[in-house]
Amino acid sequence: MSARIVLACRVVLGALFIWAAIAKLPDMAAFAQDVANYRVVPAALVPFVAAAVVGIELLAGIALVSGWNSRAGAVVIAALLAVFTGFIAQALLRGIDLRCGCFGGDEPASWWTVLRDLAMLAAALAVARGAPETGGATHVPFFEPVRRSKEKN
């Protein structure tokens, strides 16, 4: 896969997950209720799981957008998407009518939500496979394609 496509997927996925996390922050109680409605997390753990999901989404999104530890960020986002997809699918198969909780809004969970999450999962896996393994703050992969194209000329 071309470096530019991986870069685009990385930045778009990162921005989406940052947006998703920030959209949930103003009403964490509503997001916690969305988590509870899936009926897979014990009630006592729902507030902690909701907070953890938002924090992980934010950190992984920042990793992807910044390019710092982007492979790890992509793996974390892929894991989140696999879990989200499984939770939505099990709820739909059980006939549970619920909001997705995906972007802090009132979007109902549907099979389209599952397909969207699967598409994002494929993109996250592509980024995880194609992203350079970096950990240093001095490496700025966001500018790599620009630097490479100038070196070729």
Per-residue pLDDT tens over the stretch 65-100:
998 899 999 999 999 999 999 999 999 999 998 888
Rounded to whole angstroms, the Cα distance separating 15 from 6 reads 14
pLDDT tens across the length of the chain (153 residues): 688 888 999 999 999 999 999 999 999 999 999 999 999 999 999 999 999 999 999 999 999 999 889 999 999 999 999 999 999 999 999 999 888 888 877 888 999 999 999 999 999 999 999 866 555 333 445 545 544 555 555
Rounded Cα distance, 117 and 94, in Å? 19
Give pTM, 2 decimals: 0.81
The pLDDT value recorded for residue 48 is 97
The amino acid that residue 3 corresponds to is: A
DSSP state of 117: H
In degrees and rounded to multiples of 5, residue 105 shows phi and psi of -110, -160
131: amino acid identity, one letter: A
Cβ–Cβ under 8 Å, residues 49 and 110: no
Question: Which residues are paired to 99 by β-bridges?
Answer: 108
Residue 139: per-residue pLDDT: 43
